[in-house]
């Protein structure tokens, strides 16, 4: 095939295949188990991925918009957040990456400087033994957070190619240096009760996260798996690795 044919062939591929027959150029494949290369590749790709890419059906994650999060802790506590906006994903940095030897398992360590979660809340029940209820705007801001995400994949065949799926037994741990809470209009706008409760939550933010953390993390795990699935069902497993 001469040069002209090559170019024509590529243009036709792009037109007929919708332009995503290969990984986006900002995802650089690395050799399997070359974790240093994958770490660099991930660090380089994250800023572009966050901006979104219509061509690959990737939504912009700046800000990240979530319709609803439901946090339940035991039979006596329920928090529903709606119309959620998460600001600050651009402060997220991949600091470590491990592909576990001889296992279809991976660990990523991310840090974020400041994440601001805004939306509307409805809360009812007991939190750290304190009765709490109300609804209105909410602001949860966390600073200097660490996230460690470990996941296993399974391989499956489709149309003669091997693809991967992230299994639902993934794990996420998180910790933050500072957390701020503000719920407007707690206790139907009773200012004294509301001020006391907001003060109490901020003074006990570590305990609040310990109590609510597991359902928040399971929502985050689902969001990560959903974004990863856009890629995993589009590109064969081997495309993610250089020869």
Ligand X SMILES: *[C@@H]1O[C@H](CO)[C@@H](O)[C@H](O)[C@H]1NC(C)=O
Where does this chain bind ligand X (CB under 6 A)? Answer: 116, 118, 139, 141, 180, 182
Nearer to ligand X among residue 29 and residue 119 (C-beta):
119
Q: Which of 79, 59, 170, 72 is nearest to 120 (CA)?
A: 79
Nearer to ligand X among residue 82 and residue 165 (C-beta):
82
Nearer to ligand X among residue 116 and residue 133 (C-beta):
116
Nearer to ligand X among residue 117 and residue 166 (C-beta):
117
What does the buried/exposed string (b/e) look like for 47-83 if buried means 16 or more CB atoms within 10 Å of the residue's CB? Answer: eebbeeeeebebeebebbebeebebebeeebebbbee
Q: Rounded to the nearest whole angstrom, what is the least distance from the CB of residue 140 to ligand X in the complex? A: 8
Q: Rounded to the nearest whole angstrom, what is the least distance from the CB of residue 178 to ligand X in the complex? A: 9
Q: How far apart are CA 243 and CA 239, in angstroms?
A: 9
Q: Rounded to the nearest whole angstrom, what is the least distance from the CB of residue 212 to ligand X in the complex? A: 17
* Three-state SS at 176: strand
Q: Which of 48, 69, 66 is nearest to 58 (CA)?
A: 48
Nearer to ligand X among residue 180 and residue 241 (C-beta):
180
Nearer to ligand X among residue 39 and residue 194 (C-beta):
194
Q: Rounded to the nearest whole angstrom, what is the least distance from the CB of residue 128 to ligand X in the complex? A: 20
Q: Rounded to the nearest whole angstrom, what is the least distance from the CB of residue 69 to ligand X in the complex? A: 17
- Residue number, nearest CB to ligand X: 139
Q: How far is CA 140 from CA 77, 96, 187, 199, 208, in A?
A: 18, 26, 18, 13, 12
Strand partners, 123: 79, 134
CA angle, 54 as apex, 239 and 118 as ends, to 5°? 110
Q: Rounded to the nearest whole angstrom, what is the least distance from the CB of residue 181 to ligand X in the complex? A: 9
Q: Which of 168, 175, 173, 145 is nearest to 228 (CA)?
A: 168
């Amino acid at each position: 095939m001469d040069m002209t044919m090559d170019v024509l062939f590529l243009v036709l591929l792009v037109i007929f295949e919708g332009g995503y027959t290969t990984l986006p150029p900002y995802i650089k494949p690395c050799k399997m188990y070359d974790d240093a290369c994958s770490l660099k590749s991930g660090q380089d790709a994250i800023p572009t991925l966050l901006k979104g890419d219509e061509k690959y059906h990737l939504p912009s994650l700046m800000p990240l918009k979530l319709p609803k999060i439901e946090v339940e802790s035991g039979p006596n506590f329920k928090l529903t957040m709606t119309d959620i906006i998460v600001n600050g994903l651009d402060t997220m940095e991949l600091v470590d990456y491990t592909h576990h030897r001889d296992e279809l398992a991976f660990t990523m360590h991310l840090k974020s400087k400041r994440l601001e979660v805004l939306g509307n809340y409805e809360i009812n029940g007991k939190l750290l033994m304190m009765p709490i209820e109300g609804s209105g705007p909410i602001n949860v801001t966390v600073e200097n957070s660490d996230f460690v995400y470990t996941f296993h994949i399974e391989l499956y065949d489709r149309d003669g190619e091997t693809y991967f799926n992230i299994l639902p037994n993934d794990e996420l741990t998180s910790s933050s240096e500072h957390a701020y809470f503000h719920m407007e209009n707690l206790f139907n706008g009773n200012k004294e009760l509301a001020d006391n409760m907001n003060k109490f939550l901020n003074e006990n933010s570590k305990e609040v996260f310990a109590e609510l953390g597991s359902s928040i993390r399971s929502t985050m795990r689902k969001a990560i798996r959903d974004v990863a699935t856009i890629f995993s069902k589009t590109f064969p497993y081997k495309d993610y690795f250089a020869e």
